[in-house]
Each structure stands twice: as structure tokens, then as C-alpha cells.
């Protein structure tokens, strides 16, 4: 829900502010949405396979905050020096997926 609200708000209310960084903003929204859906899947997988997937979920949450959050800040407030945080969020996504797949394979 939050990614939809942020996406709509950015596309309509902030369009003049982020017009030169709209692709950056869209990337943030896209990854936010993908990993929000991944969090739902993590919960379902946890129940179906009776495995602990909370570590993967925490990495997805940190990825959303660091990756998407930094892209939102870059596009809205033009904080270009915060861009160093974006790859850390991407690494959190990769770690989250790796942990999830490891847990599934070893269940």
C-alpha cells in the first residue's frame, strides 16, 4: 500500500519537483513494490514450509528503506551525496533473496 501511495503522490503532487529525477523515483517505487510483494511471499512461505524466514524479511525491509528510501530522497530533495546508501540497500535485497532461497532449499 505504501509504495502505491508514494508512487501516486510522486507522479501527481510532486511531478514538478521531481521531473528531472522521475526515472530515479520510479526505480525506487518499483523496487519498493517488488519487495513489498516479496515480504508477503516470505510470510506465506514461512507458514507453508514451517521455516523461519524472518531474517530474509528483515533484509528486504532494510533494502526498501535504504535502496528505495535513498532514491526517494535523491529525487525529491536532490540529495546526490546520499547515493552511496543506495547500493547498500541493493546488497540487502541480494542477501535477503539468498537467505530465503537457502532456507527453502534446506527445509
pLDDT value of position 54: 97
Over the chain, what is the mean pLDDT? 92
| Residues near 82 by beta carbon (within 8 Å), at least 6 away in sequence | 70, 73, 74
pLDDT, tens only, 27-40: 999 999 999 999 99
Cell readout for 19 is 521531473
pLDDT value of position 5: 85
Q: Quickly list DSSP for 61-79.
A: HHHIIIIIHHHHHHHHH--
Task: Select the more confidently predicted residue: 63 or 22.
Answer: 63
Assess contact for 91 and 60: CB atoms under 8 A: no
Positive or negative, the CA dihedral 38, 69, 31, 19 is positive
Task: Select the more confidently predicted residue: 84 or 13.
Answer: 84
Q: Whole-model pTM?
A: 0.90
What is the distance between the terminal CA atoms of the chain, rounded to a whole angstrom? 31
Cell readout for 65 is 528503506
| Residues near 29 by beta carbon (within 8 Å), at least 6 away in sequence | 3, 6, 7, 10, 68
Cell readout for 98 is 539468498
pLDDT, tens only, 37-51: 999 999 999 999 999
Mean pLDDT value across residues 63-75: 94
Whether residue 20 is predicted with pLDDT greater than 90 in this model: the reply is no
Amino acid at each position: 500500500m505504501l509504495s502505491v501511495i508514494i508512487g501516486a503522490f510522486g507522479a501527481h503532487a510532486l511531478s514538478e519537483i521531481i521531473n528531472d529525477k522521475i526515472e530515479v523515483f520510479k526505480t525506487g517505487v518499483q523496487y519498493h513494490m517488488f519487495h513489498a510483494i516479496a515480504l508477503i511471499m516470505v510470510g506465506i512461505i514461512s507458514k507453508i514450509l514451517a521455516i523461519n524466514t524472518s531474517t530474509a524479511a528483515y533484509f528486504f525491509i532494510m533494502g526498501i528503506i535504504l535502496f528505495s528510501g535513498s532514491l526517494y530522497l535523491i529525487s525529491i530533495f536532490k540529495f546526490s551525496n546520499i547515493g552511496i546508501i543506495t547500493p547498500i540497500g541493493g546488497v540487502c535485497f541480494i542477501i535477503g533473496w539468498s537467505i530465503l532461497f537457502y532456507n527453502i532449499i534446506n527445509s
